[in-house]
Structure 1
Amino acid sequence: MSNFSLGTGGADLIKKHEGFSLKFYGDPKGYPTVGWGHLITKTKVYTKNSLLTQKEADDLSKSLKLDYTSPISQSKANTFFTEDTAKAVKAVNDLVLPKGCQFTQSQFDALVSLTFNGGPGVLKTDDVKAMLAHALIFPFIGPILPDDLDTCSKLVSKAFSYDRNLKPRRNEEATLFCKGMKYTHKYPVYSL
């Protein structure tokens, strides 16, 4: 278990790919969302990737007894982002790593972005578990053989191959995960 906070690199990556709106909108599944991907509820569905009308937003706020409606303030959006990322931060901090291993800030941020988008269950996939079980994935002092570097690159690519519709985001997360390491993200997601 670690005790990291979300760094700037991770926050920026999440914000970039989530998009931003102070007005309520239907996300790619039609669920009402606001800010940087803050899910309002899964009990209602609206037009996908479209802003809700003011009447729809007001009716939704009233039916759910929310203390806000559309548009929200920048302060409220910031609060939602902090609350929503806290769940992903906790899930990544709760991971049990091999003895003596610890994340770099970039590795942590990349996994938080993946978890924020895919939910904590993504950390339990076989590919993520295989990557995290390999001790050379973590900061290591000493010589690492070229074959080991290649193995690490392959493990990262497979671990971040989650949701084919989000290849650009997953490749950026994998690149962030490899930042500062001896191995690189040389195999794009879904290429192995």
Structure 2
Amino acid sequence: MKFTLVAAVASCLAVASAYPIKGDTVNCRSGPGTKYAVKKTYKKGQDVKLSCQMPGESVNGVTLWDKTTDGCYVSDYYVKTGTSGYVAPKCPSSGGGSSCSAPRSNAATVNLIAEFEGFRASVYKDPSGNPTVGYGHLCTKSNCAEVKYPIPLSKANGKKLLADDMKPKEKCLKNMLKSKAVLNMNQYGALVSWAFNMGCAAAESSTLVKRLNKGENVNKVLSEELPKWVHAGDKVLPGLVRRRNAEIALAKKKTTDKALPVKC
């Protein structure tokens, strides 16, 4: 009982304490990493109060992130707390960006990807010899035991499995796109298809993402940048040309459904 009381008092004192910002201009983000949207900016010497702390992306070797009472996260590297350890309670495991999940793609996006991935109801070996099923699902267990739908797959279940496989691409897009990138669900879906096809690493380093993060017109950027992603080596692949055109057409299809940025 005595220990609980002492811990509670220490927790309250930690939250009440203010610490100065060390960097010249420090961004406070929606999650514990530099891929999250900037919500606020602090100046050097400005005092901030911490509500909790949690691990996150490493910044100059420091992996601790501080959640300020403004409701955003800043690397502990930029906060002069006097220690490299915790001075505030640990944030709940659902804190940071994890509680702010990526939007799920709409049916139009799932159908577009399905059209270009092709469907196989039973398990087969892809050109690299990997066991595969449905709309290009690469199996991780023998006989695709991880698949929760009965095999041979129906096309309906194949699309459910595809939607599950799209989640990592949705998450990485949400993380790499900043607050100036304002997308509706069809524009977002076009990007999910592109990232699903080309990979998140390629998407993150692309001029396309850089332009969106500057706040440029989304459909203009997609119309100009997506057609560049049609090569395999030095060859233009007709299938990729068709896919990029389909993605641009989806992006231009009007909808009032909003996707990004996500309000956490």
1:95 to 128, 152, 176: 176
Preserved contact between residue 20 and residue 37 of structure 1 (Cα < 8 Å): yes
Deviation at 1:127, TM superposition (A): 2.4
Indicate the SS of the match to 2:163. Answer: helix
Indicate the SS of the match to 2:123. Answer: strand
User: Which residue number corresponds to residue 223 of structure 2?
Assistant: 156
User: Which residue number corresponds to residue 121 of structure 1?
Assistant: 201
Deviation at 1:92, TM superposition (A): 1.7
Preserved contact between residue 122 and residue 153 of structure 2 (Cα < 8 Å): no
Preserved contact between residue 104 and residue 138 of structure 1 (Cα < 8 Å): no
Preserved contact between residue 19 and residue 37 of structure 1 (Cα < 8 Å): yes
Deviation at 1:158, TM superposition (A): 2.2
Q: Give me the CA root mean square deviation.
A: 3.3
Preserved contact between residue 131 and residue 159 of structure 1 (Cα < 8 Å): no
User: Which one has the largest radius of gyration?
Assistant: 2
- Structure with the higher fraction of residues in helix conformation: 1
Q: What CA distance in whole angstroms lies between the structure 1 residues aligned with 2:174 and 2:121? A: 30
The yes-or-no answer on 1:175 pairing with 2:249 is yes
Indicate the SS of the match to 1:89. Answer: helix
* Mean CA deviation greater in 102-111 or 74-83: 74-83
Identity among equivalent pairs (%): 26
Preserved contact between residue 23 and residue 71 of structure 1 (Cα < 8 Å): yes
Preserved contact between residue 132 and residue 138 of structure 2 (Cα < 8 Å): yes
Q: What CA distance in whole angstroms lies between the structure 1 residues aligned with 2:201 and 2:113? A: 18
Compared CA separation, residues 28 and 107, structure 1 to 2 (3 A): farther
Deviation at 1:31, TM superposition (A): 3.1
Deviation at 1:134, TM superposition (A): 4.2
Q: What CA distance in whole angstroms lies between the structure 2 residues aligned with 1:86 and 1:160? A: 24
Preserved contact between residue 31 and residue 40 of structure 1 (Cα < 8 Å): yes
Indicate the SS of the match to 1:22. Answer: strand
Deviation at 1:77, TM superposition (A): 3.1
Structure 1 residues 7-51: Cα deviation after superposition (integer angstroms, max 9, x where no partner): 12111101111111111223354433110110125xxxxxxxxxx
User: Which residue number corresponds to residue 44 of structure 1?
Assistant: none
Runs of 5+ consecutive residues of structure 1 not aligned to the other structure: 42-59, 140-151, 182-192
Deviation at 1:168, TM superposition (A): 0.9
Q: What CA distance in whole angstroms lies between the structure 2 residues aligned with 1:172 and 1:78? A: 18
The amino acid across from 1:127 in the alignment is T
- Structure with the higher fraction of residues in strand conformation: 2
The yes-or-no answer on 1:104 pairing with 2:176 is no
Runs of 5+ consecutive residues of structure 2 not aligned to the other structure: 1-36, 38-100, 232-236, 256-264
Indicate the SS of the match to 2:105. Answer: coil
* Mean CA deviation greater in 116-125 or 75-84: 75-84
User: Which residue number corresponds to residue 121 of structure 2?
Assistant: 22
TM-score (structure 2 length as normaliser): 0.47
Indicate the SS of the match to 2:216. Answer: helix
Q: What CA distance in whole angstroms lies between the structure 1 residues aligned with 2:226 and 2:174? A: 17
Compared CA separation, residues 67 and 116, structure 1 to 2 (3 A): closer
Q: What CA distance in whole angstroms lies between the structure 2 residues aligned with 1:126 and 1:28? A: 27
Q: How many residue pairs were aligned?
A: 147
